[in-house]
Amino acid sequence: MQLQDIYVYPIKSLGGIRLEEAVLEERGLKYDRRWMLVDNQGDFLSQRKHPSMALLQTNIIDSGIEIFLKNQQEKKIHIPLEPKSKEMIPVRIWDDEVIGQVVDKKISDWFSDVFGLPCELVYMPISTNRKVPSKYAVKNESVSFADGMPYLLIGQSSLDDLNSRLDQPVPMDRFRPNLVFAGGKAFEEDEWGQVKIGEAIFRITKPCARCVMTTVDQTTGEKGKEPLKTLSGYRNFGDKVLFGQNMSLLEGEKIKIGDQVTSYKR
């Protein structure tokens, strides 16, 4: 087995970026979900309620993050890697309330105009520690603005199995993984306790429960019923539809496409 894809999603719920190599950090891949859009109450925005967020693509450049509309690429904005604003506000992601750093009012206004609703872009400074729930934590680590865990792994064979059951196959971007490996049987990752990728070692912490976000076409921003409908027919465990495995980093600094993937059973 080998590492096939690496993806980062700098701004939560916007388009992801495929990388050839990536830096590993406790909170997740470098740049992954370090920014987030929130509403007037400080609650996070996602494609679950706002599927049009899928239409915004991100790109990492030397001076920061570039954001543009997939269907109108001339409409874009640049975000610095380090916010100039010193304003800190409380923001909520699921059950967690943490401090986010306001990036720039003009940038927030740009997003508000695109989505047609007031919103604020915030950054997670190193001083903000959003802890992984203790029952899943390995060494009291923090996590980014991701839904719950620092890393998400999916096997290509698992997607192939799902697509063999669908009338219209779906791409991997419906599931927003960080790491995709090739080789092995479908859902082999369900049985793993640890995995070594190149020289890095990860602990599998829990399976990933899927939601309506998987039904959003990442090209058009339109919602449907699949693949969640089909998945729920054969991947339903305890009233949760499971696809992919969440992970925490045990050791390692970098990974790259083509790295060997070695699994260790639970």
pTM, two decimal places: 0.96
Residue 138 has pLDDT above 90, yes or no: no
The answer to whether residues 260 and 176 belong to one domain is yes
The answer to whether residues 157 and 257 belong to one domain is yes
Question: Residue length, the chain?
Answer: 266
Residues near 172 by Cβ (< 8 Å), separated by ≥ 6? Answer: 5, 154, 156, 159, 180
Confidence band for 115, pLDDT divided at 50, 70 and 90: very high
Q: Taking all residues of the chain, what is their mean pLDDT, rounded to a whole number? A: 96
For residue 260, being part of any structural domain is answered with yes
Per-residue pLDDT of 150-205, as tens digits, reads: 999 999 999 999 999 999 999 999 999 999 999 999 999 999 999 999 999 999 99
- Amino acid letter, 112: S
| Whole-angstrom distance, CA of residue 164 vs CA of residue 53 | 28
The full DSSP string for 103-169 is: --HHHHHHHHHHHTS--EEEE--TT---BPPTTT-SSS-B--SSSS-SEEEEEHHHHHHHHTT-SS-
For residue 17, being part of any structural domain is answered with no
The answer to whether residues 104 and 141 belong to one domain is no
Contact between 82 and 69 (Cβ < 8 Å): no
- Of 65, 234, 262, the C-alpha closest to 158 is 234
The range of the structural domain enclosing residue 119 comes to: 29-123
Per-residue pLDDT of 67-79, as tens digits, reads: 999 988 888 999 9
Rg of the chain in Å (alpha carbons): 18
Pick the last residue of a domain from 123, 155, 177: 123
The H or E element that residue 228 is part of is: helix 228-234
Report pLDDT for 75.
87
